[in-house]
Amino acid sequence: MNGLEQQSWNVALLQMDIAVGEPDANFAKLQRMLEEAMEHKERPDVILLPEMWNTGYALERIHELADEEGRRTEAFLGEFSRRRGVNLIAGSIAEKRADGVYNTILAFDREGRKTADYSKIHLFRLMDEEKFLKSGERAGTLSVDGTDAAMMICYDIRFPELARKLALGGAKVLFVPAEWPHPRLHHWRTLLTARAIENQMYVVACNRVGTSGSTDFFGHSMVIDPWGEVLAEGGESEQIVRARIELPLVSEVRGKIPVFEDRRPALY
């Protein structure tokens, strides 16, 4: 990989509608959207998917629908990332393990290798996650083409201490798959922007669209730079949201406003 590729990424966010309780339909749709993403003139270096894209919030049936140890997802997306030479932050899936079902991100490099995973730490009571899912027990970190990055899922962005921990650990880009619903669009935009500004890093967040039961999801997938400037934002329909991020900007912003060096954690 040459220096230019390491300095910047084209990112693509697959803002998809999710067929609740229909993994086969969702895998088929994802296949089409992935191929479409790779055919664009600005070929993506990194693709991000939304939260729980394999099943949606079919929580009453989640034990029968969840991907056993993530095997189907890993086989499918590992092959795609290898064949197409692209990094995949595979949103999150319902992943069944021996002790229960987790809301888990899987990440793959350009060679199709699974490089990281992260299970959602903060379960969202308003959607009964805690009744059906197990919570993760560690923060989500990964390396993408040699750059330190991090992962959070949806409700996690309401916990600034987690984002700060990840930033202090060296993350320059935070990936956030989500199923964030109406009427909290203002919260979505504000929290994502705050996480970018306060931690001086890129935030790349992919939200679903469509309806699940009585809940409407608004999309507005976003890419925000370390100054808090919105580089790209989706609408409320299914689409691929694209942006180019310049990784040296993170160090530039952190040098100009030395927030990390000026912290006084002993006082708080």
User: Per residue in 192-248, pLDDT tens?
Assistant: 999 999 999 999 999 999 999 889 999 999 999 999 999 999 999 999 999 999 999
Domain count, the chain: 1
- pLDDT at residue 142 in the model: 97
Identify the active-site residue in 74, 129, 154, 206: 154
Identify the active-site residue in 96, 120, 134, 172: 120
What is this structure's pTM? 0.96
Q: Is the peptide bond before 265 cis (omega within 30 degrees of 0)?
A: no
In a domain, 36, yes or no: yes
- pLDDT at residue 76 in the model: 98
The range of the structural domain enclosing residue 29 comes to 8-263
- Write the CATH number for 204: 3.60.110.10
In a domain, 2, yes or no: no
Please identify which residue in the block is written with the tokens 């990784």.
247
Residue 120 annotated as catalytic = yes
Least trusted range by pLDDT, from 4-13, 111-120, 182-191: 4-13
Contact between 215 and 17 under an 8 Å Cβ cutoff? The reply is no
In a domain, 17, yes or no: yes
In a domain, 35, yes or no: yes
In a domain, 25, yes or no: yes
pLDDT-derived band at 6 (thresholds 50, 70, 90) equals: low
In a domain, 157, yes or no: yes
Identify the active-site residue in 29, 51, 134, 172: 51
pLDDT-derived band at 5 (thresholds 50, 70, 90) equals: very low
In a domain, 268, yes or no: no
